[in-house]
Amino acid sequence: MDEAGDEGGDEGRRGMGLLRIVALVFLPFAGGYYLSYLYRSTNAVIAPDLISELGLTAGELGLMTAAYPLAFGLFQAPLGLLLDRFGPRRVQTVLLALAALGAIGFGLGQDMTSLTLSRALIGVGVSGGLMAGFKAVTMWFPERRWPLANGCYLAAGGLGALSATVPLEFALTFADWRQVYLGLGGVNIVVAGLVWWLVPERAAGSEGSSLRDQFAGLARIYRDRLFWRFAPICISAFGASLAFQGLWAGPWLADVIGLSRDGVAAHLLLTTALLVGGSILIGLVADRLTARGVPLATIIAWGTAIFVLAQLPLVFDWRWAMLVPVALVGLLSNVGSLAYAQLSGHFGPALAGRSNAGLNVLVFLGAFALQYLVGAVLDLWGPGEDGRYPAIAFQAGFGLAVAIQVVAWIWFVAWGRRR
């Protein structure tokens, strides 16, 4: 642990009470993460509108939707450098302004190309939603509370995903998807202003270092063995969660389970409601268990194992157990987020932005790959005469995602046993 960084955190907390930190630091950044998850999940609900208006195939819809996590992921490496050098307040304000431009562009887009580029711009713009908040947590909260603070922060993202279910479906009864995105662009501008005007300026920890030192710190992270223990399990689990909840849960519920559009929105609401509660619950459980000496790695291993098992009804077409993935994928989606707290403590506050962003770039590249691959697998079968994709196509797509997660889990557990 970096002593200077810890002393700086104590000094900052003495100058501001906890409630003021929550109000002036936590909530503005949480607003940005709320929007990040809202954008991420909208296509699961508006997919039928995009397909009917633009004539997209499943692969094209998957590619256009995956432009968000691809751009998001590719920007994580420079994002970590920017956060450690300039601080989360300034970086997040600029990025949210870019997201607003992307949302407006998406609302005005007329073809696959313009919508894909706009969604990629949104991905860049909200790429700091999670990492800027995690960086702020390391700057303002005591280290022993990082898992709990991160869990509560992740719950804000869950509220964004929650808003992309029944509330979004309701909004679509009096506005089309284009007007919804134009409205989101306006909200984005407001949140950017709140981050700029409310969050106090504070040293990020690496202002005096050269650009060469910044890249050297990033290289150190990618050479670290502990980092590569956590990376595969986080990539596969988060990627599967984003692929399912952010896009393919909606088509699966409609095509395989046979739910109406309202029924799909209601089930997605359940998933994301549990995501909100699960994020806080995971943080609380980790806070209590680590206080009793249970390592975060053990909590991650058990939580991820249950998460993988919860996806088996998707693979084996157990329709009688359809609520298992709907519920547990939401509840346990963020168990891998404990790795961010583990890596922040391992590398220290000065490298917290780069260590978290270094992991996040891989996570979102994995999400891009899985969202696109599931769509590509569906296209191998193609839609039937009724426009629905067959159950076997979804089984194959989700089965591929589960197989990747199993391999990553084995690597994670085996690494721990070797150590």
Q: 352 pLDDT exceeds 80?
A: no
Phi, psi of 207 (to 5 degrees): -65, -35
Which pLDDT belongs to residue 11? 46
Residue range 296-309: mean pLDDT, rounded: 92
Find the radius of gyration of the CA atoms of the chain. 20
pLDDT digits (tens, 9 = 90+) for 160-200: 877 887 788 888 888 888 898 999 999 999 999 888 888 77
Tell me what the pLDDT averaged over the chain comes to. Answer: 81
Which pLDDT belongs to residue 74? 79
Mean pLDDT is lowest, of 5-19, 144-158, 178-192, 294-308, for: 5-19
* pTM, full prediction: 0.68
SS (H, E, C) 13-58: HHHCCHHHHHHHHHHHHHHHHHHHHHHHHCHHHHHHHHHHHHCCCH
d(CA 413, CA 171): 45
E-state strands within 106-149: none
Residue type, 348: G
Residue range 123-144: mean pLDDT, rounded: 79
Q: Which superfamily does CATH assign the domain made up of 3-418 to?
A: MFS general substrate transporter like domains (1.20.1250.20)
Residue 24 and residue 180 in contact, taking contact as beta carbons nearer than 8 Å: no
d(CA 184, CA 178): 10
d(CA 189, CA 127): 16
Using the structure block, give the residue that is written with the tokens 């990539």.
235
* Residue 273 parent element (H or E): helix 261-291
Residue 376 and residue 238 in contact, taking contact as beta carbons nearer than 8 Å: no
* Residue 147 parent element (H or E): helix 146-163
pLDDT band at 209 (very low <50, low <70, confident <90, very high): low
Domain ranges of the chain: 3-418
pLDDT band at 316 (very low <50, low <70, confident <90, very high): very high
Q: 343 pLDDT exceeds 90?
A: no
Q: 65 pLDDT exceeds 50?
A: yes
Which pLDDT belongs to residue 213? 67
* Count of alpha carbons within 13 angstroms of residue 203, beta-carbon side: 15
d(CA 48, CA 362): 30
pLDDT band at 14 (very low <50, low <70, confident <90, very high): very low
Buried b (16+ CB within 10 A) or exposed e, 92-110: bbebbbbbbbbbbbbbebe
Structure tokens at 347: 């590398």
Residue range 130-149: mean pLDDT, rounded: 74
d(CA 371, CA 381): 17
Residue type, 34: Y
Q: 7 pLDDT exceeds 50?
A: no
Give the whole-number percent of the chain exceeding pLDDT 70.
88
Tell which residue, 332, 282, 309, 302, has the closest CA to residue 413.
302
Residue range 119-127: mean pLDDT, rounded: 91
Residue 325 and residue 313 in contact, taking contact as beta carbons nearer than 8 Å: yes
Q: Which letter does DSSP use for residue 245 in this model?
A: I
Q: 348 pLDDT exceeds 70?
A: yes
Which pLDDT belongs to residue 160? 84
Which pLDDT belongs to residue 20? 73
d(CA 415, CA 79): 29
E-state strands within 247-385: none
Q: Which letter does DSSP use for residue 214 in this model?
A: H
Which pLDDT belongs to residue 9? 46
Residue range 268-296: mean pLDDT, rounded: 83
